[in-house]
Amino acid sequence: MKPLIGLASAFALMQGMAHAQDVNAGAEIYAHYCATCHGADLAGDGPMSPALLLQPPNLLQLSQRNDGVFPITRVVMRIDGRDPLVSHGSPMPVYGPYFDGDDTAIKAETGQPIMTSRPVVDLVAYLISVQE
């Protein structure tokens, strides 16, 4: 019976480690999926921004524009598609389908968990790390 308890403990430990956010992975995801519109410097001035109907926001100031609190819930739901967007001329494409698979929880600004995917969690960690 002890080996089973040890195995269960090891599994629980691995699960906890799997939920750690990876800022470096988030930076890579940002560079691949987001920089075209939001810019390499995250200021909303990417090479595609002049062609967009709605200009991308400055991602360095998300906390600043939200009374000093990073809007985790809003950002997660905007990226994974739970925040309803119109299909043409929307503020941002829905990337949820690209990131499907690795279900992961992230703690919202309220302290409650939100389920999303590993890439979204990593991307949010990166965005939090660059706030002005």
| Residue range 90-122, pLDDT digits in tens | 667 777 777 887 899 999 999 999 999 999 999
Model pLDDT, residue 88 = 47
Domain assignment present for residue 13? The answer is no
Domain housing 39: 21-129
The residue with greater pLDDT, 12 or 73, is 73
What is the per-residue pLDDT for 3?
A: 45
Residues 17-25 have a mean pLDDT of 74
Task: Single out the residue of 121, 109, 51, 111 nearest to residue 79, CA to CA.
Answer: 121
52: in domain: yes
Would residue 16 count as lying in a domain?
no
User: For residue 56, is it within any domain?
Assistant: yes
Does some domain include residue 54? Answer: yes
Strand partners of residue 105: 115
Q: Domain tally for the chain? A: 1
Model confidence, pTM: 0.79
Tell me if 4 is assigned to some domain: no
Q: Is the pLDDT of residue 1 over 50?
A: no
Between 3-12, 14-23, 53-62, the lowest mean confidence (pLDDT) is in 3-12
Between 13 and 111, the more confident residue is 111
Identify whether the C-beta of residue 87 lies closer than 8 Å to the C-beta of residue 53.
no
C-alpha span between 109 and 112 (Å, rounded)? 7
Do the domain assignments include residue 7? no
Report pLDDT digits (tens) over 52-86.
Answer: 888 889 999 999 999 999 999 999 998 888 886 55
In-domain check, residue 1: no
CATH code where residue 111 lies: 1.10.760.10
